[in-house]
Amino acid sequence: MIAVIGDRDTVIGFALSGVKNGRVAENKEEAKDALKEFMETPNIGIVIITEKVAELIRKELDNWKNQKTLYPVIVEIPDKKGVMEREDRIEKIIRRAVGVVPEELRG
């Protein structure tokens, strides 16, 4: 099952593609609640979350991922305002694993 957490437009957008498990989160509390709800739902394979919301609940997200299970996979996507300028989560993971990332592999 796929779940979406994000601003209203993101949730509507994914609803148009057929993903009905969307929760609108505009602030930290809403984001936390949404995350908690999905953590308790069995069979969630993929969580799509906007970068902005992910930043709000970074700690909770990391905790969840540290449970070292294969699923759910969390995918962070930009929202309608575009990509945030920062080192994203996957880039951080890559850097930690192999030290420096060779120039040609940078995104």
- Where on the chain is the footprint of another protein (CB under 8 A)? 1-2, 8-9, 12-20, 43, 45-46, 48, 65, 68, 70-71, 73, 75, 77-80, 82-83, 90, 93-94, 96-98, 101-102, 105-107
Please say which residue, 12 or 28, places its beta carbon nearer to another protein: 12
Which pairs from 17-25 meet CB under 8 Å and 24+ separation? 19/48, 25/53, 25/56
**Gap between the Cα atoms of 83 and 87, Å rounded:** 11
**Residue 79 amino acid letter:** D
For residue 58, the minimal CB distance to another protein (Å) is 15
Please say which residue, 8 or 28, places its beta carbon nearer to another protein: 8
For residue 36, the minimal CB distance to another protein (Å) is 21
Query: Residue 39: which H helix or E strand, with range?
Result: helix 28-40
Please say which residue, 29 or 91, places its beta carbon nearer to another protein: 91
Task: Give me the half-sphere count of Cα atoms (radius 13 Å) on the Cβ side of residue 6.
Answer: 27
